[in-house]
């Protein structure tokens, strides 16, 4: 592979998405969020679930962006195989059209992608965030990826916009019983001194 191929749009887009995904995940764990609070308290179920969702969405992203979306074969086929393929795709009465860009016979619902410069079966769209087409082969995985990515984004947005629950304040015991008789005398009003002084010497008021 040529060195300049590493700077292709597809490599740059996928690398940027991967770095951004793990960067945001790292910030959510290092910042004062519920993820960090759960981790410090030893409650690892939800943090591990979040990490697995992020990892799953990233793997689906790479799978959808790297797999063949259903390109129409540009190699010339034997006449018998071509007739069988035409019969399986369309009724014999409907002739296949020829793409005006790459000059291949297009099945029904196939369209030419100008970015990929290929015809794609059941073409849906060209996704710039994946630098790949969405077509016959990767469309189901694309839908699953969108659903999983939506869950991760909503959960991450919730963690970023909310503060972790602070621990309940500790109730301090009353001051006077803890200080004893000396503190009670010090805090007692002047009019109560005749009653409080005998307490210091162990007598009765």
**Per residue of the chain (205 residues), what is the pLDDT tens digit?**
555 556 788 899 999 999 999 999 999 988 888 888 888 888 889 999 999 999 999 999 999 999 999 999 876 555 545 555 555 555 555 667 888 888 888 888 899 999 989 999 999 999 999 999 999 999 999 999 999 999 999 999 999 888 765 554 555 655 545 445 555 545 555 455 555 555 545 555 5
Helix axes 9-30, 139-161, angle to 10 degrees: 30
Angle, alpha carbons 39-42-43 (nearest 5°): 75
Residues known to be catalytic: 127
For strands 132-134 and 125-127, give the pairing: antiparallel
Extract the tokens encoding 8. 């292709």
Residues 6+ apart with CB under 8 A from 18: 58, 62
Domain regions of the chain by residue span: 8-69+134-161, 79-129, 175-205
């Amino acid at each position: 592979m040529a060195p300049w191929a590493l700077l292709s749009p597809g490599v740059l887009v996928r690398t940027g998405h991967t770095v951004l995904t793990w960067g945001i995940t790292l910030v959510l764990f290092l910042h004062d969020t519920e993820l960090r609070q759960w981790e410090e308290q030893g409650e690892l179920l939800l943090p591990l679930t979040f990490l697995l969702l992020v990892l799953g969405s990233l793997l689906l992203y790479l799978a959808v962006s790297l797999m063949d979306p259903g390109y129409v074969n540009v190699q010339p086929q034997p006449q018998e195989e071509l007739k069988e393929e035409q019969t399986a795709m369309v009724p014999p009465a409907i002739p296949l059209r020829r793409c005006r860009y790459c000059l291949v016979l297009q099945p029904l619902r196939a369209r030419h992608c100008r970015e990929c410069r290929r015809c794609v079966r059941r073409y849906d769209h060209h996704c710039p965030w994946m630098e790949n087409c969405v077509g016959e082969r990767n469309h189901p995985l694309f839908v699953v990826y969108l659903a999983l990515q939506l869950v991760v984004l909503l959960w991450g947005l919730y963690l970023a916009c909310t503060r972790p629950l602070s621990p309940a304040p500790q109730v301090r015991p009353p001051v006077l019983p803890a200080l004893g008789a000396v503190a009670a005398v010090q805090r007692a009003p002047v009019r109560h001194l005749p009653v409080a002084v005998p307490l210091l010497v162990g007598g009765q008021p």
